[in-house]
Chain A
Amino acid sequence: MNPRRTLATAGRVLTQIRHDPRTVVLLLAVPSLLIGLLAWIFSDTRVFDTVGPAMIALFPFTIMFVVTSITTLRERRTGTLERLLSMPLGKGDFILGYTLAFGLLAVLQSSIAVGFSVWVCGLEIQGSIWLLLAVAVADAILGTTLGLLASAFARTEFQVVQFMPLLVFPQILLCGIFLPRDQLPDALQAVSDWLPLSHAVDALRAVATDSQDAAYVAGELLIIGAWIVGAVVLGSITLRRRTP
């Protein structure tokens, strides 16, 4: 790995996205639009205040996962990935370059989603809005790195697409949106304790209701951070220079 190649890769990915303004708009606006829709659906109830924080975790996470895995899938299909891997680009340079580029987009996307939820949709946040933003950003970066991991694991495009239901949907089902996690069957609760989205949702709820101290949120952030690092490392290791 080499910082120059990593940064060159991140810069290249951002330049590509800059050439596609529609993608930039979609990427930045869609999570907020979905949160707005949800707020509208529940406008006559108190439901939005309960599920709103979870949605700040859910939408950016899912969208970043999809966008990242599709972008790297495109590298695979157009042969540019094969070209890069026949050149002196480290696998870590590739994964980390993408993480940096999409991480930057994740910061923008999450900031807009948090701002929109609080100031437009009227989501009540008892705790620190900065802490809320920190968790949201970490969560969106997590979506990016899991998307990278999925596409590094996969050898074909079909496999990449199927990692979305495999890696994302179970986390959504088990993160406590459908049923509070402490009411899940014991085995599922144990599984959900290990899933990063559960911790992101827990942390966002804690900040929204100010029910826990900053140390608790920091602990949850650390767990999400560990998943991010783990996904980057595993993604770098499993990316294959040689394919069938």
Chain B
Amino acid sequence: MTSETSAVVVRDLRARRGAHPVLHGLNLTVPSGLVVGLIGPSGCGKTTLMRAIVGVQIVRSGTVTVLGRPAGSAPLRRRVGYVTQDASVYDDLTVRQNLLYFRSVLGVPLGDVDRVIDATDLAPYAGQLAGSLSGGQRSRVSLAGALLGSPELLVLDEPTVGLDPVLRVELWSLFHRLAAAGTSLLVSSHVMDEASRCDRLLLMRGGEILADDTPAGLLGTTGTPDIEAAFLALIASHPSVDDTFPAGPTDAGHS
């Protein structure tokens, strides 16, 4: 896979979160135009990896190339949408005021605000303060902000946590619609049943990638009936990954 067809290329990435080494020489590729799931338990380094891709994480060594440019470089800031694990929205602004502000920062047309409100099913709450919404609604506001300006790459850190099943299905179909329109998506989750909804999977544990495959391919190579069993089979065959690796503050502090 060449870098032209890849949304993200990570080479030998090492990073610490606080005092803990979280990523120790990570290599991976996120192909473009697909929904790629980053699946792994809390504390395995998913958030640190995503922060490195977005360019807000101090990395110790290695390279992260996003859409052909070094991660975090200025032109990428309007081409990459990022949703943090906790909804990063202003609680003392209404849904619409939040999105209007993000719109001004991005410099995208005013009409885009209504488009993302509709896409995330937030129209009934547009005039409410974000702080008065439920957790799931707030995280949708956060997601709506990342959809503004239709970025080429969306980095979504556990976007479906706490959502009711109907809404979760709707969001996954939104992700696939976006991918069909050419957007690349990297979506993290610790819920294994979401893995089967992805085009490709990156299974992560203890700061390392255990597998990089399609869901079907993964079940085939491991000879297991579901992703959870496949994950367990992979862990059993990877003695190099330290079972007792301490969970850094990465995910633990955010979940």
Contact = CB atoms under 8 A, between A and B. Distances in A.
Bound together? yes
B116 interface: no
A87 B106 CA distance: 7
B90 interface: yes
A20 B131 CA distance: 12
Interface in B85-137: 86-93, 97, 101-102, 104-107, 129
B92 A16 contact: yes
Interface stretch (B32-40, B50-58, B199-207): B50-58
Interface string B5-31: 000000000001110000000000000
Contacts of A16: 90, 92-93
Nearest to A7: B104
Given A19-B92, A78-B88, A87-B102, A12 B57 contact: no
Interface in B197-226: none
B80 interface: yes
A34 interface: no
A69 B88 CA distance: 19
B72 interface: yes
A112 B78 CA distance: 43
B55 A86 contact: yes
B1 interface: no
Interface residues of A, number: 26
Contact of B107 (A19, A78, A88, A243): A88
Contact of A86 (B16, B18, B54, B92): B54
Contact of A12 (B82, B88, B93): B93
B238 interface: no
B78 A242 contact: no
A91 to B, nearest CB: 12
A87 B142 CA distance: 13
Quick one: which of A17, A20, A80, A87 has the most chain B CB within 10 A? Answer: A87
B89 A80 contact: yes
B84 A84 contact: no
A244 interface: yes
A243 B106 contact: no
Nearest to A79: B88
Contacts of B17: 244
Contacts of B177: none
Contact of B55 (A5, A8, A15, A241): A241
B56 A78 contact: no
Contacts of A15: 93, 97
B88 A83 contact: yes
A86 B51 CA distance: 9
Contacts of A82: 51, 56, 84, 88
Interface string A204-244: 00000000000000000000000000000000000001111
Contacts of B74: 88
A4 interface: yes
Contacts of A241: 55-56, 72
Given A16-B90, A87-B105, A243 B55 contact: no
A154 interface: no
Contact of B56 (A11, A19, A85): A85
A89 interface: yes
B56 A4 contact: no
Given A4-B104, A8-B104, A86 B56 contact: yes
Nearest to B94: A19
Contacts of B72: 241-242
A86 B101 CA distance: 15
A88 B75 CA distance: 8
Contacts of A4: 104, 107
Contacts of A9: 101, 105
Nearest to A8: B104
B145 interface: yes
A88 B105 contact: yes
Contact of A242 (B58, B82, B107): B58
Contact of B101 (A8, A17, A20, A243): A8
Given A88-B105, A242-B72, A12 B90 contact: yes
Interface of A: 4-5, 8-9, 11-12, 15-17, 19-20, 78-80, 82-89, 241-244
20 contacts: A4-B107, A5-B104, A5-B105, A8-B101, A12-B101, A78-B88, A79-B88, A83-B84, A85-B56, A86-B56, A88-B78, A88-B106, A89-B105, A241-B72, A242-B57, A243-B56, A243-B57, A244-B16, A244-B17, A244-B58
Q: What 5 A-B pairs are tightest by C-beta distance, nearest first?
A: A79-B88, A8-B104, A83-B88, A88-B77, A12-B101
